[in-house]
Amino acid sequence: MLADCGCWYKISIGNFDNVGECQYAVPSYWDIGKAYKHLIKQVALEKKIDVVDAIIEAYHSFFFRRLHTI
């Protein structure tokens, strides 16, 4: 049945190792946490707001959406 679905979506049959073929290291949750920390600190400094408000600003920013697609 799965082989039949391939023709609908033009998916070729084969072995695919997307992680093995990555050209970069997959970030760990520590790496992502550091990126969030840096983003929040930068927002707080640039907008001269406290950390709680900076967290809200950061989570609604373009960069947050970009970090989430990594």
Which range of residues forms the domain containing residue 44? 24-70
Q: What mean pLDDT, rounded, does the chain reach?
A: 82
Global pTM reads: 0.56
In a domain, 42, yes or no: yes
- With beta carbons less than 8 A apart as the criterion, state whether 13 and 5 touch: no
Q: Establish if 56 belongs to a structural domain.
A: yes
What is the tally of structural domains in the chain? Answer: 1
Task: Provide DSSP, the chain.
Answer: -HHHHHHHHTPPPS---TTTT-SSPPPPHHHHHHHHHHHHHHHHHHHT--HHHHHHHHHTSHHHHHHHT-
Asked if 49 contacts 57 with a C-beta cutoff of 8 angstroms, the reply is: yes
In a domain, 9, yes or no: no
**Whole-number pLDDT of residue 16:** 81
For residue 3, is it within any domain? no
> Is the pLDDT reported for residue 5 higher than 60?
no
Task: Write out pLDDT tens, residues 19-34.
Answer: 777 787 878 889 988 9
Q: Is residue 31 part of a domain?
A: yes
